[in-house]
Copies of this chain bind each other. A is one copy, B any other.
Amino acid sequence: MYASQCPCRDVLDLLANKWAALAIGALEDGPLRFGELQRRLQGISPKVLTQTLRRLEDNGFVDREIFPAVPLHVEYSLTAIGRSVSKPLGALRTWVETHLDQLSA
């Protein structure tokens, strides 16, 4: 992990990112549409959410399914490895929430 050429660096770079961690957490309960994700991740811009989801999809953590209904809609869901990484990411989020008072003291 500490060698600069280690490919794990790129993965850590992708995951060790606030919006990626929050997006994966939001998808833990099941598939969501773009608008629902945007509402859950209060404050995220459509552009950053699009980039975050595309990076997560490109790296195999998120699936994107297009439903040819009228109107057409798209749903995002965690892949198996996305669900797997949601555990350590969830533990980091929980740590932050449970230590917040010590940090802002």
Contacts and interface: CB of A to CB of B under 8 A. Distances in A.
A1 B26 CA distance: 11
A96 B18 CA distance: 17
Contacts of A41: 2
A69 to B, nearest CB: 28
A33 to B, nearest CB: 16
Counting every copy of the chain, the complex holds 2
Interface residues of A, number: 43
A39 B4 CA distance: 10
Contacts of A72: none
A8 interface: yes
Contact of A92 (B12, B43, B96): B12
